[in-house]
Amino acid sequence: MLLCKSCSARLGLESDLSKSSECEACLGLSGKFDAYLEMAAKSLSGYEFSTFWLGAFIRKKVIDADAKLSENKQGIKKALEIYVGEGLERLTGKTPTPVDPDIIATVDTINERIELRISSAFFSGRYIKKSRTMPQSKWLCRKCSGRGCKECGFTGRMYPTSVEERIAAPLIKVCEGSGSKLHALGREDIDVRMLGTGRPFVIEILSPKRRTIDLVEASREISSPGDVEAIGLAVSSKQEALRVDTSKAMKKYEALVSSEGSVAMEKLDAISELAPIELEQRTPNRVAHRRSDLVRVRAVDKISFSDIGDSGFRMSLIAEHGTYIKEFVSGDEGRTKPSLSQLIGVQCRVAELDVTDVEFV
């Protein structure tokens, strides 16, 4: 049997291999194991990580040749993964695990290279947004879809920046990441401020080279322009990002409402007594171009009023996740029933709106 020393030991078979012949099992692949270990160690040297996993791509003809001899024995692919994986554990002192490793390194024996798949780094906190002209995420120009045109001043975008970019920029820089993805417990409109305790979020930094960072300094840098603040920045996880993406919330709002006529305090007090108020909200006109035309049942749990004047008043309310507050006030041409305008008999609209609290349900 023409087997190299490594395959002879792995398969438990005698070998008659000479220096001029090729191993019938691995077709010479075992002789490259040390070179692959060196390549993998070099590829990983530029990254901070605690856990890793090692995989391999091997030519089909090598797999087929080995399979003829390795029935019920360790195959050549597994042998390569164990050899390089154990070598990396010894050289780096890091822990191999197949469950959510920081890095998956794959030995590509076909193209003679190491492929790395870098798991994202996650950081959580709450953000405050003081601007009424900033979207939560990057908003590409509607006309050119980001390519750049006269409409957007050749920037490719509708707004100069976003909450996500404000939070992500310092973290991408210090983590040496390739990009970001914001996971937030809901979102506010561009012209709505997020105040009070802030909105829970998890920011995902893609392909980071660094994972251990100065969170205090990162928070300071995020908050320094003043229009966005990050509170309680901490190391987080993919599981927390999923929780933020899929959970429902209760929200508190403060609004300045303008009315087309004076409203008696007694009438507003009577509306407060109606809470909780169940609403049927058809998809608003302002978002109908990008969302399905559905009727959603939502609830305003509490509502109160103050600072009554001839042309408006202030409103505080607590509402269910997904409630369209502006449409609850205006009625949106009958698409929200009942509406505040309908209940008081005077047409109203939201002049200014702030979210003051967002909590997981």
Mean pLDDT of 234-243: 97
Domain boundary (186, 214, 246) is at: 246
Longest dimension (CA), the chain: 103
Give the pLDDT of residue 290.
82
Domain shared by 114 and 131, yes or no: no
Residue 27 pLDDT > 90:
yes
Domain shared by 241 and 260, yes or no: no
Domain shared by 203 and 296, yes or no: no
What would the pLDDT profile of 137-158 be if each residue is shown by its tens digit? 999 998 999 999 999 999 999 9
Looking at residue 356, its amino acid is T
Q: Would you list the DSSP string of 45-98?
A: TT---SEEEEEEE--HHHHHHHHTT-TTS--HHHHHHHHHHHHHHHHH-PEE-S
Domain shared by 65 and 16, yes or no: yes
Give the pLDDT of residue 241.
98
Residue 20 pLDDT > 80:
no
Helix (H) / strand (E) element for 351: namely: strand 348-360
What pTM did the predictor assign?
0.92
pLDDT band at residue 15 using 50, 70 and 90 as cut-offs: confident
Cβ atoms of 54 and 36 within 8 Å: the answer is no
Q: For all residues of the chain together, what is the average pLDDT?
A: 96
Domain shared by 301 and 195, yes or no: no
Domain shared by 289 and 182, yes or no: no
Residue of 108, 189, 301, 357 marked active site: 189
Q: What percentage of the chain exceeds 90 in pLDDT?
A: 94
| Overall number of domains in the chain | 3
Q: What CATH number does residue 217 fall under?
A: 3.30.70.2510
Domain boundary (246, 271, 287) is at: 246
pLDDT band at residue 219 using 50, 70 and 90 as cut-offs: very high
Range of the domain at 37: 5-118
Domain shared by 38 and 60, yes or no: yes
Domain shared by 31 and 126, yes or no: no
Q: What CATH number does residue 73 fall under?
A: 3.30.2300.10
Domain shared by 162 and 137, yes or no: yes
Report the side by side order of strands in the sheet with 95-96: 95-96, 51-57, 103-108, 113-118
Domain shared by 220 and 317, yes or no: no
293 tagged catalytic? no
Domain boundary (100, 118, 136) is at: 118
Cβ atoms of 228 and 167 within 8 Å: the answer is yes
What would the pLDDT profile of 56-106 be if each residue is shown by its tens digit? 999 999 999 999 999 889 999 999 999 999 999 999 999 999 999 999 999
Domain shared by 128 and 230, yes or no: yes
